[in-house]
Amino acid sequence: MPTYDSNSVAETEAIAASLAEKLHGGECIALHGDLGAGKTQFTRGLVRALGGPWKSVSSPTFVLLNVYPGGRLTVYHLDAYRVAGPEDFEAIGFSELLEQKGVVIVEWAQRVIDLLPPNRIDVHIRPTAECSRQIEVSGANGG
């Protein structure tokens, strides 16, 4: 499993872009990391690399789901931080999103881990200093 060191937002986005090159559609990416770790920034880099509307990427904490169409693949960006349980994800049609042949990205994935497919890509983002991160990518297509 590859581990990357990022010392800036641009480097975090570049790491996400390298993952985006490997995506074909139908992938689920589980993002793990504490508040402020860079999960949304990673998503922004991935959407940008796919040719989507990266400037509009924001954390879907309160809306639960943001959709970024228009790129090589549509990105479905979910946030499980405020979900009461898996039923909140099911209410928005999570299982149908997985069948859309886009890319499903889930922030705070550990809160809904039982809903995620076993062949997902896991991305762990750990701050190592104020502006530095260690990013570990594992799973299907992640390596």
pLDDT tens-place string over residues 32-44? 999 889 999 999 9
Q: 45 is written with which tokens? A: 């880099």
Average pLDDT, integer, range 10-28: 95
Q: How far apart are CA 22 and CA 35, in angstroms?
A: 27
Asked if CATH classification 3.40.50.300 holds for the domain at 3-139, the reply, yes or no, is: yes
Pairing of strands 121-129, 3-6: unpaired
| Whether the predicted pLDDT of 142 surpasses 70 | no
Reduced to 3 states (helix: H, G, I; strand: E, B; else coil), residue 56 is: helix
What pLDDT does 43 receive?
94
Burial of 58 (0-12, 13-18, 19+ CB in 10 A): middle
Asked which of 11-20, 50-59, 123-132 is least confident by mean pLDDT, the reply is: 50-59
What pLDDT does 95 receive?
86
Q: Taking Cα atoms as reference points, which of 112, 109, 130, 104 lies closest to residue 43?
A: 104
Q: Taking Cα atoms as reference points, which of 70, 138, 65 lies closest to residue 96?
A: 65
Q: What is the pLDDT of residues 82-134, one digit of tens each?
A: 777 777 878 878 888 888 899 999 999 998 888 899 999 999 999 998 889 99
Instruction: Return the bridge partners of 2, or none.
Output: none
Locus of tokens 């990357």:
4
| Whether the predicted pLDDT of 143 surpasses 60 | no
Domain positions in the chain are 3-139
What pLDDT does 90 receive?
81
| Whether the predicted pLDDT of 6 surpasses 90 | yes
Q: What is the pTM of this model?
A: 0.91
